[in-house]
Amino acid sequence: MVFTKFKRKVRNLFGFSKLETNGMLLLIPINTVLLLGYIYIKDDLFYTRYNQHSDIKKLDSISNLFIKASMDMTNKIDVEGSRISKINNMPVLVNFNPNDVTHAQLLQLGIRKDVANKWVKYLKNGGHFDKVDQVKRIYGLTDSTFLILKPFIVLPEQTSSVNLKAKKDFSSENTKISTFNTFDINLADTIALQNIRGIGKILSKRIAKYRDLLGGFVTLDQLFEVYGLDSIVATKLIEQSFLEDSFTPKKININITTKKELSSHPYISNKMADLIIAYRSQHGNYTDLSPLKTIPLVLTSFHKISPYLTVKD
């Protein structure tokens, strides 16, 4: 009876039909059971899956690993920084004259010891820098080091003018001894040649041999033709040597020479020797060197060959 009255009140209150009222009253307990069940199951799953003590241990472990890694990285940075600071001694960059710099000053500028030794030796042997870029010729001095030093290299104008005057005086007096220790390239022996940085026993012998094969150097640029002689070293050799104005090279008389003698000269090939002798056989002795210009193969090298040829006895 009570339940029937309750249903009637629900129907009147909400305007439900009999069927709708029964359905709603049926859903209420079902939803209640489901809600309570969900709460119970949720709490059970939460406490089952979430083990607070276990997760805290995991978090502590991860934290400890992170702290250890940070400490290791810090120690590594400290060690590396210490090692680098020991290796890279900071140079003291100040203005300096490359022509009177000392070994200690070079080391203070950050120059390697072996390069500083060569620099000082170069100066002791009479070497001199007239231009800042000439400093690059010091063997072992890297381009990066030179670029760092370049703004601090100072060549006093007074020193430069004195050096230029000394060079002019030397040329005008034709003397073999000067403040620059220059020497006659056609008279220099292998010992004198070895005073040039970059020239050892082998290269000095090779230079002397090539000079003898030529019959003497008529131009200093011929030093660039020496096999194995680096262009930088050849340039330095040119700066330290000179040619006597009165020098006359050894000449080959093309009116009496043989093919073997001609072809032994560095500038004359076997084919060129054959052509020179063939022309002589056909036309008779040469009266001057101009007929050689009519031989195409010889003409291309005439300016190099002519100083070493003659038609006179």
H/E element holding 183?
strand 183-184
Q: For residues 7 and 20, what is the distance between their CA atoms, to the nearest angstrom? A: 10
Task: Tell me 199's DSSP state.
Answer: -
Determine the average pLDDT of the residues in 260-274: 94
Among the residue ranges 90-94, 163-167, 279-283, 294-298, the one predicted with the least confidence is 163-167
The answer, yes or no, to whether residue 129 has pLDDT greater than 90, is no
pLDDT band, residue 58 (cuts 50/70/90): low
More confident residue, 215 or 5: 215
The answer, yes or no, to whether residue 63 has pLDDT greater than 70, is no
pLDDT given at position 137:
76
Residue type at 120 in one-letter notation: V
Determine the average pLDDT of the residues in 116-136: 82
* Phi-psi label, residue 248: left if phi above 0, alpha if psi -120 to 50, beta otherwise: beta
Residue 276 burial (C-beta neighbours within 10 Å; 0-12, 13-18, 19+): buried
pLDDT given at position 158:
42
The answer, yes or no, to whether residue 214 has pLDDT greater than 80, is yes
Alpha helices in the chain (DSSP H): 2-14, 18-49, 52-87, 103-108, 113-124, 143-149, 157-173, 190-193, 201-214, 231-239, 259-263, 270-283, 296-299, 302-305
More confident residue, 50 or 116: 116
More confident residue, 44 or 233: 233
pLDDT band, residue 288 (cuts 50/70/90): very high
CB 181 within 8 A of CB 193: no
pLDDT band, residue 41 (cuts 50/70/90): low
Q: For residues 273 and 259, what is the distance between their CA atoms, to the nearest angstrom? A: 5
* Nearest partner of 94 among 81, 110, 79, judged by Cα: 110
Determine the average pLDDT of the residues in 227-236: 91
Q: For residues 271 and 257, what is the distance between their CA atoms, to the nearest angstrom? A: 15
CB 121 within 8 A of CB 181: no
pLDDT band, residue 72 (cuts 50/70/90): low
pLDDT given at position 237:
93
Q: What confidence tens digit (pLDDT) does each residue in 73-101 have?
A: 545 444 444 343 334 456 777 888 888 88
Residue 58 burial (C-beta neighbours within 10 Å; 0-12, 13-18, 19+): exposed
What percentage of the chain exceeds 90 in pLDDT?
38
The answer, yes or no, to whether residue 16 has pLDDT greater than 90, is no
Count how many residues are written for the chain: 313
- What is the average pLDDT value for the chain, to the nearest integer? 78
The answer, yes or no, to whether residue 254 has pLDDT greater than 80, is yes
CB 128 within 8 A of CB 180: yes
pLDDT given at position 218:
94
Among the residue ranges 61-70, 118-127, 183-192, the one predicted with the least confidence is 61-70
Q: Under DSSP, is residue 136 helix (H, G, I), strand (E, B) or coil?
A: helix
Determine the average pLDDT of the residues in 246-274: 94
pLDDT band, residue 305 (cuts 50/70/90): very high
**Residue 76 φ then ψ, to 5°:** -65, -40
pTM, 2 dp: 0.44
pLDDT band, residue 122 (cuts 50/70/90): confident
What percentage of the chain exceeds 70 in pLDDT?
71
Angle at which helices 2-14 and 18-49 pack, to 10 degrees?
Answer: 100
* Nearest partner of 152 among 106, 121, 104, 214, judged by Cα: 106
pLDDT given at position 85:
38
